Amino acid sequence: MKFQGKVWKFGDNIDTDLIIPARYLNISDGSELAKSCFIDIRPDFAEGVSYGDILVAGRNFGCGSSREHAPLAIKKAGISIVIAKSFARIFYRNAFNIGLPIIESEGAVEGLSEGEEAAVDLANGNIESIDNGTIFSTHPIPGFMRELISAGGLVNYIRSSKINI
Amino acid sequence: MPMTITEKILAFHAGVDQVSPGDLIEVKVDMALANDITAPLAIKTFREIGTEKVFDNEKIALVADHFVPNKDIPSAEQVKLMRKFANEHEIKNYFEGGESGIEHVILPEKGLVLPGQIVVGADSHTCTYGALGAFSTGVGSTDLGAVMATGEIWLKVPPTIKIEYEGNLLPGVRGKDLILYTIGLLGVEGALYSALQFSGKVIEGLPMSGRFTMANMAIEAGGKSGIIEPDEVTLAYVAERSASELLILRGDPDARYEKTVKITADEIKPQVAFPHSPANVHPVSEVGDIPLDQVFIGSCTNGWLEDLRDAANILQGKKIARGLRLIVIPGSPWIYKRAIQEGIIETFLDAGAVIGPPCCGPCLGGHLGVLAGGERAISTTNRNFIGRMGHPKSEVYLSNPLVAAASAITGKITASDEI
Ligand code: SF4
């Protein structure tokens, strides 16, 4: 699985209220939610993001509420993968469950800048800055999570797996 | 190998003798919870999985509490979808209207979560039930939808961070202050992926309400769960609400903790968390002059009966500051009724408060008391992120109910002993 796109950079502790404020939670449609993604801190995001772009953030990304509307809004806005120094755990689960790939890398977050072109190869865990060729290698995603992604999220995983319904 | 209480609960539900931090396990769930915001997505997942029936119609709770009474057409549609699903699957624990309150208040109150259980909820404050000695954690809607179908969930066994509170509580200090102080110490990601266990003499002396407040905010330090080993206080609370057989587990004396932090309670003054982080705490005596537009007393953190009693004691015979709005919301219909019987609601009304129906209210900034740009509030809730209670340019300070009530009288952040 490879992704390439423009980098959108965010800081530490980006919480789910910043990703999608509660006042928009009276709906659950992903594409509708995407229109308000990051509206309070980056009002230009929803309009400016292109399909395949990469979101790069600091520590504890996605902290706060369990709202799955947050990874859903990011995914539907067009983001292909999120790279952060660390993720809040419910966000981490949610992202894999809905099929939004995420990866942890201190180095890549430090090294990548806003607006540059970057590429991620999930198979070997390499993150590359296309502009200057720097490669950041990361820990591979745990096997179980890879299975989830290749199944296309938790729903398909359960449909095709050993879990008895 | 010796185990912590969290490891024992997880091992029991995974059907194995032993688990260690880092193990990926599949566990059986005793209660699965969703609310009017998260249930619609979970129901969608459930339908996509294609199961005919839910795994157990007595082990699912669906609670309409966030945008109720329905605030607009889209939220009415969400509740309608949830109600239809509950009817279709004969979900026993469906709560709406006069039967409903805040999910994390009514579930313990109705004896629906018990010590030793595993509870997963599509709400991050599901960690509240750790106060009963259960393993409880927040998940997303997809996870919850899958649990409704299978009754099982995969979990990674968390390491446990143990916080020991010794010494004595100063007057006016509550569970809220202990947890705010602790979050200030650990930071908002200090317990990331970990179980946060509260113990020590001070915890033994806390009523259940204070324990719920503490477990409730474990997530604010990044914790996967918060937990308190069950004792007589827990058992007395549960005995009044459930006749079920209990699984009482405690950690082994030589269990392994990732780290142990000792805190002397005598050093903790009432705390105030400044915008925009619950870890940004200061003792109330050092806050300076901070004028307020709104005070909110309620939520799954501090909407318990003891919290309302605390606030009423301060507000008794007093009036709130002119131009300030005080909103009080009891956590459940039972608490509301008791508060009426005890004269607490009358005290609030005489002081000039607005009383809301049991629900989340202004806590998440979508309904019943939203802040305008530039407005400032003190709130007994758990989060003060940017825009949490309304306009992105509004500010939220967090405190215990005593400080919130005192601040309503003076119109600025005030210690309760100054009243
Ligand atoms: S009271 Fe606030 S924190 Fe608690 S469940 Fe409701 S919105 Fe969430």
- What is the structure's pLDDT at A164? 45
Which pairing describes strands B60-63 and B93-95: parallel, antiparallel, or unpaired? parallel
Is the minimum CB–CB distance between B49 and chain A shorter than 8 Å?
Answer: yes
CATH no., domain B6-263: 3.30.499.10
Of the candidate ranges B19-28, B296-305, B307-316, B394-403, the one whose mean pLDDT is the lowest: B19-28
Is the minimum CB–CB distance between B48 and chain A shorter than 8 Å?
Answer: yes
- What is the structure's pLDDT at A161? 67
Sign of CA dihedral A113, A115, A117, A118: positive
Which pairing describes strands B160-166 and A126-129: parallel, antiparallel, or unpaired? unpaired
B320 beta partners: none
Q: How far away, in angstroms, is B226 Cα from ligand 1 center?
A: 16
Look at residue A5 and give its three-state secondary structure.
strand
Examine the pLDDT at A165 and tell me if it is beyond 50.
Answer: no
DSSP assigned state of B189: T
> Of A146, A79, A82, A78, whose CA–CA distance to A109 is shortest?
A82
The answer to whether A28 contacts B40, with C-beta atoms less than 8 Å apart, is yes
Q: How confident is the model at residue B52 (pLDDT cuts 50, 70, 90)?
A: very high
d(C-alpha B69, C-alpha B359), whole Å: 8
In this complex, which of A28, A88, A93 lies closest to B143 when CB atoms are compared? A93
- What is the structure's pLDDT at B121? 98
pLDDT 10s digits, A103-136: 999 999 999 999 999 999 988 889 999 989 999 9
What is the pTM for the complete model shown? 0.95
The answer to whether A22 contacts B383, with C-beta atoms less than 8 Å apart, is no
In this complex, which of A17, A71, A90 lies closest to B139 when CB atoms are compared? A90
A3 beta partners: A120
CB B360 near ligand 1, within 6 Å: yes
B273-418 has the same fold as B6-263? yes
Number of domains present in the structure of chain A: 1
Q: Give the residue numbers spanning the domain of A104.
A: 2-160
Examine the pLDDT at A66 and tell me if it is beyond 90.
Answer: yes
Q: Got the DSSP string for A29-95?
A: -HHHHHTTTTTTT-TTHHHH--TT-EEEE-SSBTBS---THHHHHHHHHT--EEEES-B-HHHHHHH
Examine residue A139 and state whether it is found in any structural domain, yes or no: yes
d(C-alpha A40, C-alpha B31), whole Å: 35
Q: Both tokens of residue B1?
A: 């190998």
Q: Closest Cα of chain B to A133: distance in Å? A: 32
Examine residue A31 and state whether it is found in any structural domain, yes or no: yes
> Which residues, at least 6 apart from B173, have a Cβ–Cβ distance to it below 8 Å?
B265, B268, B269, B270, B400
The answer to whether B224 contacts A89, with C-beta atoms less than 8 Å apart, is yes
Domain boundaries, chain B: 6-263, 273-418
Ligand 1: which of B136, B220, B327, B360 to mutate, judged by most atoms within 8 Å of the beta carbon? B360
Q: Got the DSSP string for B313-361?
A: HHHTT--PPTT-EEEE--SSHHHHHHHHHTTHHHHHHHHTPEEPPSS-G
pLDDT > 70 fraction of chain A, expressed in percent and rounded: 97
Average pLDDT, chain B: 97
Which pairing describes strands A135-137 and B294-297: parallel, antiparallel, or unpaired? unpaired
pLDDT 10s digits, B146-199: 999 999 998 999 999 999 999 999 999 999 999 999 999 999 999 999 999 999
Examine residue A165 and state whether it is found in any structural domain, yes or no: no
Q: Closest Cα of chain B to A131: distance in Å? A: 33
Q: Closest Cα of chain A to B41: distance in Å? A: 7
pLDDT 10s digits, B112-157: 999 999 999 999 999 999 999 999 999 999 999 999 999 999 899 9
Cα angle B382-B387-B391, degrees, rounded to a multiple of 5: 135
- What is the CATH T-level fold of the domain B273-418, as seen in this structure? Aconitase; domain 3 (3.30.499)
Residues in chain B: 419
- What is the structure's pLDDT at B161? 98
CB B279 near ligand 1, within 6 Å: no
Ligand 1: which of B66, B297, B328 to mutate, judged by most atoms within 8 Å of the beta carbon? B66
CATH code of residue A151 = 3.20.19.10
Examine the pLDDT at B271 and tell me if it is beyond 60.
Answer: yes
pLDDT 10s digits, B191-239: 999 999 999 999 999 999 999 999 999 999 999 999 999 999 999 999 9
Residues in chain A: 165
Examine residue A53 and state whether it is found in any structural domain, yes or no: yes
